Amino acid sequence: MFFKKENIILSVMFFSFFSIHDFWFINPTYYFILILLCMTWIKVSTETKFNEFSVALFLMASIFFISQIFALYLTYNSVILGNVLNVKTFIIFVISILYGCVINEFYDKNVINRQRIYGVLSKFIIIFFLIELLLRIYNGNLDNTWLYAFKASQLYFDSNFASLVLLSFFMLYLFLYNKKVYRDKYILIILFVFILFTFSRAAIATSIISYIIFFNHKTYRKKAIFSFVLYMVTFITLCVMYVIFKDSFIGFDGSFNSKFYIVKAAIGVFERESIGNVIFGIGLGNFEDITGIFAHNIFVTFIVETGIVGTLTFLIFIIYTCIKTKLNSLYILLPMVICGLSLFGSYSPYIFSILAIIVMETNAHE
């Protein structure tokens, strides 16, 4: 029967990464996600006791929804954006947040069932991303350099977005392996090989760094915190060098240099914004319409597009999950931040569904 918890959770995890980007005008997976969210709402509405983590996700989604309405109103009426209005991006981000509630509400307490779910899920991931890779190879453009010849993806916007999903599931299965919930080293190897074939240097480097940090579950906490502090100090230093001292990294790598050009463009947007836009942001997805370049950077996405309200809300949520999971949530959050210097997408149900699994597995272990 489909409505067994096991089947629902498996469907949720499948649709958290399933994507057909080049499908008419809208990704069909949005419809399936909305159906799963409606099922969750029906289940929750019939219960008298609410799950704490679901409440946290719902509150965050509500704050983002309301604050983004204000952001779009302010931006629409400003001279910055004129009549262009991006509504879709913030809606799919709110849906991504709520997607974690589905995992939370239909979580199966039977460890044997969960192990079976993780096993079947790993096979779905392998089949899907093998198809994604073969399509990229088939439609490759050999006129480009080897690094960019096979970047165009029919299932995602490009292979960089595929690498974010693969990196996230790589960290999920590393967490499950370390917690002795689902110990399959071969899925880790296969996922890493898929990451290599996305040719995303940021994802490849992040997966190697993350494995070094997290391969020993007993010692990862100190290494993770130290790595995060070192990363932030390095990033801020490079931003200062680029913006204030006018240093350029174009000679080192053009793609790397572009990430700091985006930071500089973000500062320019801030200089033109009203106080209202500083508080609520310019609206998710509007950075490209203003500056002519996609935000890419996770810090620019949150600080500029969601403003002070959105940034603080997300930071509070991160702190909450770190406390609730005894820092186990860093398995997904730290790689997301490190790789986020290069790319971050607002459509990210896989992040919140994986976070929900980490929360649930931590609770079950405790």
Secondary structure (DSSP) of 220-239 = HHHHHHHHHHHHHHHHHHHH
Q: 10-residue block means of pLDDT along the chain (366 residues)?
A: 75 90 67 82 77 91 93 74 71 90 85 92 96 91 76 86 95 96 95 95 94 92 92 90 77 74 83 83 84 82 91 95 94 92 84 94 84
| Distances from the Cα of 265 to the Cα of 283, 295, 297, 298, 304, angstroms | 16, 9, 12, 14, 10
Closest CA to 34 of 12, 63, 62, 60: 12
- Per-residue pLDDT, 21: 74
Interhelix angle for 5-17 vs 88-105, to 10°?
Answer: 150
pLDDT at 189: 97
